[in-house]
Amino acid sequence: MKYILASGSERRQELLHRIVDDFKVIVSDFDEEQIIFNGDIGKYVVDLALGKALNVKEKIKEDTIIISGDTVVVLDNKILGKPKNEEDAFNMLKLLSGKVHRVYSGVVVFNTSNNKLEKESLYTEVKFSDLTDEEIVSYIKTGEPLDKAGAYGIQGYGGVFVEKINGCYYNVVGMPLNLLNKMLKKVK
Q: Residues 107-137: pLDDT tens digits?
A: 999 999 999 999 999 999 999 999 999 999 9
CB 26 within 8 A of CB 6: yes
Catalytic residue among 31, 47, 70, 88: 70
- Reported as a single tens digit per residue, the pLDDT across 44-60 is 999 999 999 999 999 99
Q: CA 75, CA 128: separation in Å to the nearest integer?
A: 12
- Residue 98: pLDDT band with limits 50, 70, 90: very high
* Sequence spans of domains, the chain: 3-187
Is 70 a residue of the active site?
Answer: yes
Fold classification of 3-187 (topology level): Maf protein (3.90.950)
Dihedral sign computed on CA atoms, order 147, 148, 152, 156? negative
- Reported as a single tens digit per residue, the pLDDT across 18-29 is 999 999 999 999
Q: CA 67, CA 57: separation in Å to the nearest integer?
A: 10
Q: CA 184, CA 188: separation in Å to the nearest integer?
A: 7
